[in-house]
A and B are shown apart, each in its own frame.
Chain A
Amino acid sequence: MSKIRKITLSRRDALQIGAGAAAASTLGAPAVLAATRKIKIGFVSPKTGPLAPFGEADAFVIGKVKEALKGGVKVGRNTYQIEIIEKDSQSNPNRAAAVAADLILKDEVNLMLVGSTPETTNPVGDQCEANDVPCISSIAPWQPWFFTRGGKPGKGFKWTYHFFWGLEDVIAVFTNMWTKLPTNKSVGGLFPNDGDGNAWGDKKLGFPPVLANKGFSLTDPGRYQNLNDNFSNYISAFKQAKSEIVTGVMIPPDFITFWNQAKQQGFKPKIVSVGKALLFPVVIESMGKNGHNLSSEVWWTPTHPFKSSITGESARAFADSYMATTKKQWTQVIGFVHALFEVAVDVISRSEDPTDAEANRKALAGTRMNSIVGPIDWTRGGPFMNVSKTPLVGGQWRHVNKQFRYDLVITANETAPIIPVGGKMEPISQTD
């Protein structure tokens, strides 16, 4: 959505602008020299549309980064001013590609950052790859970022680099949580007919083969369409299979419909581990007491033992300042958006010439740093080049009587023991 600004010019303003333009044209040469000491970073994220919760924290995170970089970044003997240009993808892949092209061709950014869901990272990454602009992305599982864009194992991309976790990590985290409680190992699966649902439910690469290996039986009635109004068929299938565990990757309205119907129809699983729907605290809070002990994947919390390479703040201090500024509960996204800028600053400060794309690309490929979301390292190569995995753990939402009504407590950390556990896995109440 564009805002229309009314511009009124007084005669004096017009004269001054005219005079300024004339001065600039005669003194052009030194002005251009000074301008080269400026680095432009483009940042594309979904600020409006269905994916907007991912872009909600941008203003805070970028404000903090700008504050910290006020004095510029020192590279060798030069100091470079950093200009950050934000663009809204409007949750639309076509729009994401268009604003990325604008940033590259009109604003001539030196470095591109892009966050949140394959619908944003992929089109922007493709634009950067086509136009030779170094690009750093995150907040999308690496498989849809790597394979969907035609990445081949052993041969990655030239200009685009990604840090996040993958499907294998979610599967490991969920099964780790499930083995912590005694159950009959019967799992009900709720996978929608969208990119995530098809990947999670895939018979070769998704949950089914791993669950079979680990001794779980999976009841997967089939793919449903998003914004489903009736999960009765799924509930009766799960009841028949006596499922004590429910998993899936759902959008919030569908999960709430399912969970209410499950309770109405007397289906009471012990564990519910669902991706995507349980990410944002506002969703859990909107469920009243019914969100207690629901579990999900956890990419970042204030208890992660990491600190910002830009401000030196710990994860805890960073989240606290977010809550103090915005009066909203922290979300997992804020750490990763901050980390994108950490990588950008790290790359610029190591680059031989931050205004040169090839020099920046070399610096980017040689990235090996510690960020607020953990170590980021693209020097190892590996089968999936250009991908650096960040740690993933599992957690449960606990209903508490504090300012914010739910706490996210880490309950399984086998996948990343460096991240401390906050509590024991608890079964969902069977009585109410």
Chain B
Amino acid sequence: MDWINAVVQGILVGGLYALFATGLSLIFGIMRLVNIAHGDLIVLASFLGLVIVTGLGLYPLVALLIVVPLMFALGYALQRGLLNFTLGSDILPPLLVTFGLSIIIQNALLEIFSADSQKLPAGPLQTASMQIAEGLAVGVFPVIVFACAVVVIAGLQLLLYRTALGAAFRATSDDPDTARLMGIDNRHIFALAMAISLAVVALAGVFLGMRTAFDPSIGPGRLIYAFEAVIIGGLGSLWGTLVGGIVLGVSQIIGGKLFPGADQLAGHVVFLIILVFRPRGLFPRAMD
């Protein structure tokens, strides 16, 4: 039962990692942009949530109704006003610009909110527990987070493969020049992709804030798990990202069980092993 418990808890944490990673996976898949500021944008969303929760007295989950559209708009503006200018054959400019962005976001948050640890008040939900079997209890909140990750990824998958917008996303991803010849405005498509990415980031940020304390400096620590989940799952594959998050969460907890204290090391080692044997990840989307 101990092992089952460990695996279940690992899968649930994996859902959180997948949520961290989905936005990253989406924009990498569509425009090959590696967003170093992703972790800091998650923390930015947590702080936005904090402002709305304390300012309007809303419950954090209700505040999502405001935070998600705000981050969506921010994503559109960010891509249209800044990141579009960095895209090109050279992969270095977007890396450098998002790296700079990461530093700017961290310090701006520090200046405005100070380095105090903050938390979104989740009330009784934060410790609510479900007894599944003897010796196996899971938190209600982690289950909600996991379910959200699945719903978000299923929704994005539908969007990508069942709608005209999705077709435009995929077309731009496969061959931006030809897509433009067909009358698709790349700048707009890219901006929409970043907007959707940051909408998911908003969800991740608010969940992170409800789960534990956050401060302006913790963003980069979240980025590494997001990266690993994306790469384990295969670049550009959304379901792969979910699997990547789960692989990471489960290998951490099993590693920690076998070699106490090696939780995070185990996650990194599994990531490296997968990189050695499946350099393109478990479910690579395209062969490029």
Contacts and interface: CB of A to CB of B under 8 A. Distances in A.
A222 B258 CA distance: 11
A224 B261 contact: yes
A63 interface: no
A279 B3 CA distance: 35
Contacts of B249: 229-230
Interface footprint category on B: 35 or more
B114 A52 contact: yes
Interface string B233-255: 00000000000000001001100
Nearest to B225: A229
B214 A265 contact: no
A193 B260 CA distance: 12
Given A50-B217, A232-B9, A260 B257 contact: no
B263 A225 contact: yes
Interface string B131-144: 10000011111100
Interface in A350-368: none
B138 A264 contact: yes
Interface footprint category on A: 35 or more
Interface stretch (A74-82, A153-161, A282-290): A282-290
B212 interface: yes
B253 A232 contact: yes
B220 to A, nearest CB: 10
Interface stretch (B72-80, B94-102, B118-126, B169-177): B118-126
Given A228-B263, A230-B10, A282-B117, A253 B129 contact: no
Interface string A192-231: 0100000000000000000000000000011111011110
Contacts of A280: 116-117
A51 to B, nearest CB: 7
A24 B119 CA distance: 56
A287 B6 contact: no
Nearest to A56: B114
Given A233-B253, A253-B117, A265-B139, A290 B127 contact: yes
Contacts of B62: none
A265 B138 contact: yes
23 contacts: A1-B110, A48-B110, A50-B215, A51-B115, A53-B117, A56-B116, A222-B256, A222-B260, A230-B9, A230-B10, A230-B252, A232-B6, A232-B9, A233-B260, A256-B212, A256-B213, A260-B141, A264-B140, A265-B129, A265-B137, A266-B137, A283-B117, A286-B117
Given A225-B263, A227-B218, 15 more contacts: A228-B264, A229-B249, A229-B252, A230-B9, A230-B252, A232-B9, A232-B253, A233-B6, A233-B253, A264-B127, A264-B140, A264-B141, A282-B117, A288-B121, A290-B126
Interface of A: 1, 48-53, 56, 193, 221-225, 227-230, 232-233, 236, 240, 252-254, 256-257, 260-261, 263-266, 280, 282-283, 286-288, 290, 432
8 nearest interchain CB pairs?
A: A222-B260, A264-B139, A52-B115, A222-B261, A286-B119, A263-B127, A232-B9, A223-B261
